[in-house]
A = this chain, B = another copy of it.
C-alpha cells in the first residue's frame, strides 16, 4: 500500500508540476499580450474623454452602452447583447451652491439682504438621490457634530439647523476601504438621522483624505419615516475651515441644490460572451459597472473595471484561447444609485435556470493589483489558494477570504456562486472617488493593464479547473 500511495503521489505531483508549468506559460502569454498590445487604456480614454459622465438615465449612459456593445464585438465576443433593465433617473438639476456667512451680533433685517462679515463660497456637491432645496435656497445656522453620538446628545439643538457632520476619514487604517466603510455611514444615514430632530439640511465631510478641496458625492438613503432634506458633501479644506470658524462664530449657510427624480427609464447591462467548448452550461461572469457619477469621468470608478473586463475578452481571443466553460463579460448598469443592473442579471439567470459557477468583479479602481479576495466555501478557498503561486508574480499576491462586489453579490445570494474581487492598492482611491478628479489622467496605463492580467489569470484557472 505504501508503494501504491507513493506511486499515486508521484503521479499526482508530476501531473501537478506539468499543469503548473503549462498554466504558468499560458498566463505569461496572456500577460505579454495585455502588456504589449493592450487596448484597455485607449478604450478608457474614449470612454472618459469622448463619453464622460454616465449616470443611470443620462445621455452619457446611452452612449456608453452603445460603445460598450461595439467594443465587445470588436474584442471578439461570440455573442454580444444588451440586457434591458429599468433604472432610476436622478438628475442634479443645476449647480449646487453654498455660501457661508458669519452671523453678526445684530440680526439681519427680516427679509433684507443678509449682512455678513464674510461671504465664503463653499465647494460642495449634492449627494446622489438627494432632493433639492426648492426654488429658493435654504438659509440656516450650521451646527457641527463630529459623530452620531454627538448628534444624539445634542438632539434638542438640531431643529431648523443645517447639520454639518465633520466625521474624519480615519487615516490609521492601512486599507482605506475600512476608513470608507467607517465614514460612509454619515453619507448614507446622516440626512435622515438629522431630519428626525428637525434639521433643515445636512452637510457631510467628504469621504476622503485627499490633499485637495474637491467634494465627493455618492448616494444617500432616506429613511421613509422622516422628512427628506437636502444633503451635500463638502471638500476637506472647506470642512476644516468651517469647523474652525464654528469654534468661535455663529455661521449661517445659504444652500441651493436642485436634485430630483425623473421617472425610471430604460438602461442596459452590456454583455459579451465566449461560449464554452466543453461545459457551455457552466457560466463564469467577469465585470465592472458602466455607470458613473455625473460630476466626473468615472475613470477609476468604474471605467477601469469595464475596460479591464473587455481586455480579458480581447486577450483570450488574441492568443487563441478557447474556454471550456462559458465566460460572460458584463458591464453592469446603475451600480452607483440603485444596482438595478446587478439585480436584473441575477433575476434573468434565475429565470433561465442558469448555472453560475463563478463571478469576478473589478470595482476598486484601476490601481496596481495587490490581491484577490474570494467569498466561497472552505474547499473553494483552498483551491483558490493553490493558484496563488501562479498569479502572485503579476502583482496580486494577497489572497484573502471575502470578495465580490455590488454587481455580483446577487449571484452569490441566488446560487451560492463563489464571488471574487480584484483588490488593487487602495491608497489613492479615495482621493478621487466620486469627485471631479476621477479622470483619465489619474489612471496609469500599466497599473490598469496589470489589473486585467491578474483577473484574466484567475478566470483562466477557474475556466480550466472549475471552482
**Chain A: residues with CB nearer than 8 A to chain B?**
31-32, 35-36, 41, 171-172, 174, 176, 209, 211, 368, 370, 393-395, 397-398, 425, 427-428, 431, 444-447, 450
Please tell me if the beta carbons of B450 and A174 are within 8 angstroms of each other in the complex: yes
Please tell me if the beta carbons of B428 and A171 are within 8 angstroms of each other in the complex: no
**Given the known A-B contacts A368-B368, A397-B398, A398-B397, are A36 and B447 also in contact in the complex, defined by CB atoms under 8 Å?**
no
Considering the complex, give the chain B residue whose CB is closest to the CB of A32: B172
Please tell me if the beta carbons of B36 and A446 are within 8 angstroms of each other in the complex: no
Instruction: Give the docked Cα–Cα distance between A1 and B36 (Å).
Output: 62
Question: Separation in Å of the A437 CB from the closest CB of chain B?
Answer: 12
Please tell me if the beta carbons of B368 and A427 are within 8 angstroms of each other in the complex: yes
Question: Separation in Å of the A79 CB from the closest CB of chain B?
Answer: 32
Please tell me if the beta carbons of B393 and A445 are within 8 angstroms of each other in the complex: no
Chain B residues closer than 8 Å to A431, beta-carbon distance: 444
Chain B residues closer than 8 Å to A447, beta-carbon distance: 427-428
Please tell me if the beta carbons of B427 and A171 are within 8 angstroms of each other in the complex: no
Chain B residues closer than 8 Å to A445, beta-carbon distance: 209, 211
In-complex Cβ contact of A172 among B31, B395, B444 (8 A): B31
Considering the complex, give the chain B residue whose CB is closest to the CB of A370: B370
Chain B residues closer than 8 Å to A393, beta-carbon distance: 174
Chain B residues closer than 8 Å to A32, beta-carbon distance: 172
Chain B residues closer than 8 Å to A446, beta-carbon distance: 171, 176, 209, 427-428
Instruction: Give the docked Cα–Cα distance between A395 and B276 (Å).
Output: 39
Instruction: Give the docked Cα–Cα distance between A444 and B174 (Å).
Output: 14
Chain B residues closer than 8 Å to A35, beta-carbon distance: 171-172
Question: Separation in Å of the A332 CB from the closest CB of chain B?
Answer: 27
Chain B residues closer than 8 Å to A444, beta-carbon distance: 427-428, 431
